[in-house]
């Protein structure tokens, strides 16, 4: 590669990176369901007793499976919500905070209900259907396959690894 071609390629790459970093959430973003998100017929069963945070209303716990991590929020005594923890902007795994979730890359903030609140403009976290079995003390979630967001741990030792 000659010098002129190299400099042209480097300039194009720099412009692309600047657009991605400062974009309007559409450049390099994910719209609609996350790739690798919930797949039909695939489920994860979660025992509530395995997650102390889910014992009280308002609690949030992370469930780590193969693929996109999932967060579960106990929104009422008998109501639970689940979300793929991949940020809808670029797929980075969001962190659980006292008030909901935060994207560590772009500082987008989401409520415990998954709704976008502030920071990098994006959409809500992808909801995952939840079925609660009070008698068994379990939740059944649609299981995401491998996809964006993943890795990392919030170090609160409440993870359940599902093969």
- 15-41: per-residue pLDDT in tens? 444 433 443 333 332 223 333 344 445
Q: What is the pLDDT of residue 63?
A: 79
More confident residue, 51 or 145: 51
Q: Across residues 116-127, what is the average pLDDT? A: 90
- 31-162 placed in CATH 2.102.10.10: yes
Q: Across residues 94-98, what is the average pLDDT? A: 92
Q: Average pLDDT of the chain?
A: 73
Q: How far apart are CA 54 and CA 127, in angstroms?
A: 17
More confident residue, 27 or 98: 98
Q: How far apart are CA 69 and CA 108, in angstroms?
A: 17
Domain range list for the chain:
1-30, 31-162
Q: How far apart are CA 45 and CA 142, in angstroms?
A: 9
Range scoring the smallest mean pLDDT among 67-81, 100-114, 144-158 = 144-158
Instruction: Please check the confidence at residue 138 and state whether its pLDDT lies above 70.
Output: yes
Between the alpha carbon of residue 23 and those of residues 56, 63, 121, the distances in Å are: 39, 31, 10
């Amino acid at each position: 590669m000659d010098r002129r071609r190299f400099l042209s390629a480097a300039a194009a790459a720099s412009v692309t990176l600047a657009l991605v970093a400062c974009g309007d959430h559409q450049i390099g973003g994910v719209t609609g369901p996350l790739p690798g998100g919930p797949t039909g017929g695939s489920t994860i069963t979660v025992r509530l007793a395995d997650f102390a945070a889910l014992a009280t209303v308002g609690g949030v716990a992370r469930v780590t499976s193969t693929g996109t991590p999932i967060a579960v929020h106990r929104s009422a005594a008998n109501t639970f919500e689940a979300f793929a923890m991949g940020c809808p902007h670029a797929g980075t795994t969001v962190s659980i905070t006292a008030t909901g979730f935060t994207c560590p890359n772009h500082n987008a903030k989401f409520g415990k209900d998954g709704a976008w609140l502030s920071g990098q403009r994006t959409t809500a976290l992808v909801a995952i259907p939840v079925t609660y079995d009070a008698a068994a003390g379990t939740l059944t979630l649609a299981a995401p396959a491998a996809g964006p967001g993943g890795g990392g741990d919030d170090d609160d030792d409440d993870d359940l690894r599902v093969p």
